[in-house]
Amino acid sequence: MSNLTTNTKLIKNKAYELGFSFVGISKAGFLEEEAKNLDQWLNQGMHGEMKYMANHYDMRLDPTKLVEGAKSVVSLMYNYFNDFKLNEGKGPKISKYAYGTDYHYVVKSKLKELIKHVEDKIGNVAGRAFVDSGPVLEKAWAAKSGLGWAGKNANLINKSAGSFYFLSELILDLELDYDGPVKDHCGTCTKCIDACPTQAIVEPYRVDGSKCISYFTIELKEAIPNEMAGKFEDWAFGCDICQDVCPWNQYSTKHQEPAFELSEELKKMDWDEITEEVFDRVFKDSALKRTKFEGMKRNLRFIKKHAKN
């Protein structure tokens, strides 16, 4: 067995041991096709107020700009699916990804352990870990390494497990055995496009980020535009609509990560009476910190004011 195969198995086996569901590896290099798509997306202003999407352009497209001499991009998927639906039909909803502890903390900790394992077992390997926090086109790399395909809602979909997964990467200056992409299985289905209340999926495989409920409730710092009145369907933080209707998510299974469980306090939250003190305590280690208390109050006021009777 070659060193490439031995090292590849070592990395994948440890990743599975750490709780990752799927692992795929691609050869590091410039993302030529994705460069065209990113250019068009940015030029059309589909990033809205997310100015950071235009930053570090070269790094987004070339991992060797992030890790000198990079040879491999290891893509990993970590399950966060929860069949519990918070306030379904009777109050403010938040995206499943934000039910528990902020995934940046949970997944990044596991990646650090994985890198340490690589260094201990293989030797002097330069690498960096990314969890949706650096200039990396994570869905592109996940698709290149065969973890799934980019669906019409632009989410990475795995044929056997759906799309409720956090994506992360290790960029390493280590040559490994590489995986290849898989076929697109969206077919003629348009359920995600039809279900989006703000028409953010402007065409198959292209999402206008500046029209997405997640953008309005998390990224936008200004007032929510009046033209969105009555379209949020009670989503106060993020949105799962295009994933909830996706047929491939019938294969989603409950995650096994204790840190992603809902607290009893969150389940019983009185959103009308929430104070900044309660918000800071309950969401101390949560992704909801991103929108801050005032942002959350703005979202709550908006959906309450424009609630459909």
Determine whether 132 is an active site residue. Answer: yes
Nearest to 72 by CA among 113, 25, 108, 119: 25
Angle of the 103-122 helix axis to the 3-17 helix axis, nearest 10? 150
Contact 193, 151 (CB under 8 A): no
Angle (CA) 69 66 214, round 5°: 145
Annotated catalytic residue, options 62, 132, 173, 184: 132
**What's the alpha-carbon Rg for the chain, to the nearest Å?**
20
> Residue 75: phi, psi to the nearest 5?
-105, 140
Residue keyed to tokens 């309450």: 304
Q: 22, 165, 23: which is closest to 97 by C-alpha?
A: 165
Q: Which residues are catalytic?
A: 132
